[in-house]
Amino acid sequence: MSDTGTIPKGRLLLFRILRCNPQAEASLPQMQEFKLEEAAGMTLFLALNEIRDTQDPSLQFDFVCRSGICGSCGMMINGRPGLACRTLTKDLPSTITLAPLPGFELIGDLSVNTGKWMRGMSERLETWVHDQQATDLCAIEEPMEPELAEQIYELQRCIECGCCIAGCGTMQMREDFVGAVGMNQIARFRLDPRDKRDDGDYYQLVGDDEGVFGCMTLLGCHDVCPKSLPLQTQIAFLRRKMLRVGL
C-alpha cells in the first residue's frame, strides 16, 4: 500500500505470442499482441491463463502440474527455451515474446507434441531395464548402494520437457538426433546394475551420428535444462566410453 492508501500499479506487460493453428489450412503463423498488468508473483502460467480468460479463449498452451514437474509447459521465452510455470514475469523485460518449442510437432500456438517425440526416442533407445533373467515378478531385488542409487536418481530427474532439444543446434540439422535427453537416458541405464546390457549394446544405440558422435558440443542443452542436469558431463563421458568401445 502506498502513502496515499492506493495499491501501486504493476508494470504494463506486452505479450507478443506466435499464433498458428495447423488444423486450419488457411492459418498462417503470425504474432499477436496482448497487454496485461503485472501482478505480484505472476508467472507466465498465470499471465497466459489471464490472457485466455479475459482476452482470447482460443489461445492454446499446455500446463498440468504448475510446479516444474510434468514438463508440459516448455516454450520459447524471449528466444530461450524454458518452463512457463517456473518463470516469473518480474525476471523478464516488459515485452515478452513467446513461441512454441522448435523441433516438435505443433499442436497449436504454444502447444507442441513433446510426448510423441519422447515416446519415439524412448522406443528407439529402449529406455527400460533389460534383464532377461527377471521372469519371477515376486523376486526380491538386490539392494543397491545408496551412492549409486543417488547417481541414478540424479539423471532420472529429467522431466522430458524438450527444452534441451529446442536449445540444440544439431537438432535443427539432424532430424533423427536423439538429443541430450536421449543421451542422458543411456547414461542413466548404463549406471543401473539391473540393466544387463553392456557397453557394446549402448554403443549400438547411440554410438553414431544420430547420437554421441552427432553432438557438436554446443552445450545449449546444458545451459537451458530447467532441472540443471549434468548434461555436459554425461555427454563427454559417453563419448569417451564409446571411443574406447569402438576401437
Task: Give me the residues that bind ligand F3S (CB under 6 A), please.
Answer: 168, 170, 179-180, 215-221, 235
46 binds ligand FES (CB under 6 A): no
Return the one option of ligand SF4, ligand FES, ligand F3S, none that residue 64 interacts with (CB less than 5 to 8 A, by type). Answer: ligand FES
Alpha-carbon Rg for the chain in angstroms: 21
Q: Which does 73 bind (CB under 5 to 8 A by kind): ligand FES, ligand F3S, ligand SF4, none?
A: ligand FES
Q: Give the span between the Cα atoms of 238 and 233, in whole angstroms.
A: 9
Pairing of strands 12-19, 95-99: parallel
CB of 212 to ligand F3S, least distance (A): 9
Query: Nearer to ligand F3S by C-beta: 195 or 210?
Result: 210
Q: Contacts with ligand FES in 62-101 (CB under 6 A)?
A: 63-66, 68-73, 83, 85
Find which of ligand F3S, ligand SF4, ligand FES, none residue 168 binds, CB within 5 to 8 Å per kind.
Answer: ligand F3S
Residues in contact with ligand SF4 by CB under 6 A are 158-164, 180-181, 184, 225, 227, 229, 231
| From the list ligand FES, ligand SF4, ligand F3S, none, partner contacted by residue 17 (C-beta under 5 to 8 A by kind) | none
Residue with Cβ nearer ligand F3S (108 or 220): 220
What does 215 interact with, of ligand FES, ligand F3S, ligand SF4, none (CB < 5 to 8 A by kind)? ligand F3S
User: Which residues of this chain interact with ligand FES, rule CB under 6 A?
Assistant: 63-66, 68-73, 83, 85
